Amino acid sequence: MAADIKFGTDGWRALIAEDFTFANVARCAQGLSDYLKEEGSAAKGLVVGYDTRFLSQNFAETVAGVCAGNGIKAYLSGQAAPTPVISFNVLHLKAAGAAIITASHNPGSWNGFKFKPEYAGSATQEITDRLEGFIARSGRAESMSLEEGKKRGLIVAIDPAPPYLERIRSLVDVVAIQQSGLRVAVDAMFGAGAGYFPTLLSGGPTTVEEMNGYVNPAFPGMEQPEPIAHNLTGLSKTIKEKRCSVGLALDGDADRVGVMDEEGAFISTLEVFSLLALYLLQEKGQRGALVKGVTSSMMLNKLGQQYGVDVHEMKVGFKYIGPKMSEVDALMGGEESGGFAFRGHIPERDGILSGLYILEYMARTGKTPSQLVGNLFDQVGSYSYQRRDVAFNPQAREEIQQRLDSPDLTELAGMPVIGSDQIDGRRLLFEDGWLASRFSGTEPLLRIYCESSTPAQVTRLLDAAASYLGV
């Protein structure tokens, strides 16, 4: 029986060899080919990319073969490349979109299939709904061998890095960073972003100490290639031992960033989002709306008020955030997971560009990361944040959902609930913060998020929420 292929918040993901098989990847490629034909954009061709996971290159070659079998030119990346790099090449090549073999931050036993339409951002819900329909109806995939496809000019090998690097250098003062003398520690997490920071920042007194910059699809020493605190103990140690100025980490496909300060302490993703927004608004003097996932910081709302820009709160996922960015010509968009996008680039997360903006902020102000966070707190007040990912019994999902939907909750951990919304899952509002609960769109997890005035208060609220939800 064929797998039921469903696209979550960012593509279809599944366990390698269980549901993520060559046959099912070919089904995805055939459904996508049928979709592009109906859209009338097949003649523009499709960019095909992949990350460093087990068999990713082979799966990508399968996609290219199916495209060629359907008469659609496939621009096949010659090496593993970050998702934002492949996405940018959609614009550079004026292609109909991109298919990317990646499971982003999932554990090494997973892989995935992302589709980026011609605007180079995440596919909207409408597009993924249609794509799922084409995949479900697709019959036997039309395919062509790699050799035959290349011979007929239907499979074209590309190096996606140069045009992307050219765009990045137009957005960031790379020379100022190179000349600043920063000591930058980078954890590439064995992912597709390896080598990008050393390439961009070489040529001056600034140094880059990159770790885990080689391919190992087992992602040893970490639960999964996700740039969060408990996966970055090695980066923290490097910062301390090498006396680095800052630490940056990229997830498996480099569309997300994690940041550590000069002491090796993790800076929360909510603080990083707020720092980047403050940098663009205050230091660079730019103006434009901010688009945030509902689980992002209330600090952004305060910055919006202070600088006179709109703040739009969306469901989690760039399939919602990206289109809104394009609609309102937003200055910046982002979500709690550490994925941020910027005007003038692509309406999609870019961990490399995000990290470079942090470095540019440091080079421009001469301040350390902890000083930048202190400056942020001086403007909007200090906040603490934590997220818990809880595995749950699938049979209990309906009961958990009923509790999430209950309107009867008036207090939690002794704090009165002053409001709530259901933009995505359930968010409770308190005088000095919020708590949100939602089911992951990519993994079998219940995510519980909390931002409040103190770490102790965050812990109390998270404990109370877990107890209330029965997890």
pLDDT tens column, 442-465 = 677 899 999 999 999 999 999 999
Six token digits for residue 418: 């002053």
What is the pLDDT, as a whole number, of residue 410?
Answer: 87
% pLDDT > 70, the chain = 99
Smallest CA-to-CA distance from 247 within 305, 220, 208 is with 208
CB atoms within 10 A of CB 443: 17
Six token digits for residue 115: 């589709």
Q: Per residue in 227-260, pLDDT tens?
A: 999 999 999 999 999 999 999 999 999 999 999 9
What is the pLDDT, as a whole number, of residue 94?
Answer: 98
In the structure, what pLDDT confidence band is assigned to residue 400 with cuts at 50, 70 and 90?
Answer: confident
% pLDDT > 90, the chain = 85
Does residue 40 have a pLDDT over 70? yes
Does residue 408 have a pLDDT over 80? no
Burial of 403 (0-12, 13-18, 19+ CB in 10 A): middle
Contact 386, 460 (CB under 8 A): no
Entry pTM? 0.93
Q: Per residue in 339-385, pLDDT tens?
A: 999 999 999 999 999 999 999 999 999 999 999 999 999 999 999 99
In the structure, what pLDDT confidence band is assigned to residue 306 with cuts at 50, 70 and 90?
Answer: very high
Q: Which residue has the higher pLDDT, 396 or 419?
A: 419
Does residue 122 have a pLDDT over 70? yes
Smallest CA-to-CA distance from 277 within 263, 291, 267 is with 291
What is the pLDDT, as a whole number, of residue 2?
Answer: 65
Does residue 469 have a pLDDT over 90? no
The Cα 425–Cα 437 span in angstroms is: 6
Domains in the chain, CATH or no CATH each: 12-160 (3.40.120.10), 172-380 (3.40.120.10), 384-469 (3.30.310.50)
What is the pLDDT, as a whole number, of residue 399?
Answer: 86
Q: Per residue in 145-204, pLDDT tens?
A: 999 999 999 999 999 999 999 999 999 999 999 999 999 999 999 999 999 999 999 999
What is the pLDDT, as a whole number, of residue 442?
Answer: 66
Contact 307, 300 (CB under 8 A): no
Six token digits for residue 312: 């739009």
What is the pLDDT, as a whole number, of residue 353?
Answer: 98
For residue 309, the Cα-to-chain-centroid distance in whole angstroms is 24
What is the pLDDT, as a whole number, of residue 288?
Answer: 98
What is the pLDDT, as a whole number, of residue 471?
Answer: 82
Does residue 404 have a pLDDT over 80? no
The mean-pLDDT minimum among 23-27, 52-56, 220-224, 253-257 falls in 220-224
The Cα 398–Cα 373 span in angstroms is: 40
Sheet (strand 110-117) strand order = 12-15, 110-117, 97-101, 46-50, 74-77, 155-158
| 52 φψ region: left (φ > 0), alpha (ψ -120 to 50), beta (else) | alpha
Average pLDDT, integer, range 268-286: 97
Strand partners, 158: 77
Contact 349, 341 (CB under 8 A): yes
Q: What's the whole-number average pLDDT of the chain?
A: 95
User: Within 13 Å of residue 417, how many CA atoms lie on the same side as its CB?
Assistant: 18
The mean-pLDDT minimum among 7-11, 33-37, 107-111, 222-226 falls in 7-11
Does residue 91 have a pLDDT over 90? yes
